[in-house]
Amino acid sequence: MNLRRKHLEAASLLILLIKVFCVNTLTCHPTEYPIGNRCCSFCPPGNRVETHCTVFSDTSCLPCEKDTFMNLPTTDAKCFPCTCGPDSGLKINTSCTATTDSVCEPLEGFYCTDRTRNNCAAAKKHTQCKPGQFIKHRGTALTDSECSDCSDGTFSDGTRTSCQAHTQCESPILQLKRPGTTSTDAECGNDFIVPILVLIIASVVLVVLVLFAIAFVCWKRKTCRSGKKRNSTEKGDTAGGEAVDMMERT
């Protein structure tokens, strides 16, 4: 019994060693890949693996879905996603196919940071200049923006291509209220300008009213004088008529 058991154990060990040796020495054709103790066919470009091969059937493949691709023979169960996504800073120059990826280019306001031939794989937003800086060089699809600091006596809000000189508040009616900085202009003003304007307007209105009153009084006086002359003439005509009547009667 013991001898028989030893023979069975030795046979089992030999079978296990043969399997391990066969697996380790399994060599597949370049168009195949190993799965266990079998060689399965690769799925062609534009496809993905649905199920691996079995003793009775070869590898089952499915076409890549929309917006995915596979550019090489594969053993993968998923195709690669097409690039140029909306959150990548890229836009599509040439749409992807089942066997080729998209050709991308930077969106407006972005520049390419990973370029391979005519394709951009990654993009970054142009640097925004800060207040107190001006845009020395505008960014392009291949280069970032370049900023530079404003010098004393000039300012910029960060969106200009040059710094502007501070406003000079040298005027009889204007005074410097707030000095300029590299990011803001100087502020000019006069605390007395508003009261002066109010006084000037009030004076003009008063003069106009006085002139109007004078004109009205003159007009009324002229009307009164014309009325008196008319009454005197009418009375003279009446007296003359009565005198003529008396002479005729006599």
pLDDT digits (tens, 9 = 90+) for 17-45: 455 444 456 789 999 999 888 999 999 99
pTM value? 0.54
Tracing tokens 């009667």 back to the chain, one arrives at 249
Between 9 and 110, name the one with better pLDDT. Answer: 110
CB 41 within 8 A of CB 59: yes
Between 134 and 177, name the one with better pLDDT. Answer: 134
The three-point CA angle 199-201-202 to 5° equals: 65
Residue 130 has pLDDT above 80, yes or no: yes
The three-point CA angle 99-103-104 to 5° equals: 145
Condensed to tens digits (0 to 9), the pLDDT of residues 159-186 reads 999 999 998 887 766 778 889 999 999 9
pLDDT value at position 138? 94
pLDDT value at position 80? 95
pLDDT value at position 21? 46
Q: Half-sphere exposure (CA, 13 Å, Cβ side) for 211?
A: 6
Condensed to tens digits (0 to 9), the pLDDT of residues 185-230 reads 998 887 655 566 677 888 888 888 888 888 877 877 777 666 555 5
Listed in sequence order, the DSSP H helices in the chain are: 2-24, 193-249
Residue 136 has pLDDT above 90, yes or no: yes
Confidence of residue 117 (pLDDT cuts 50, 70, 90): confident
Percent of the chain predicted with pLDDT > 70: 74
CB 112 within 8 A of CB 120: yes
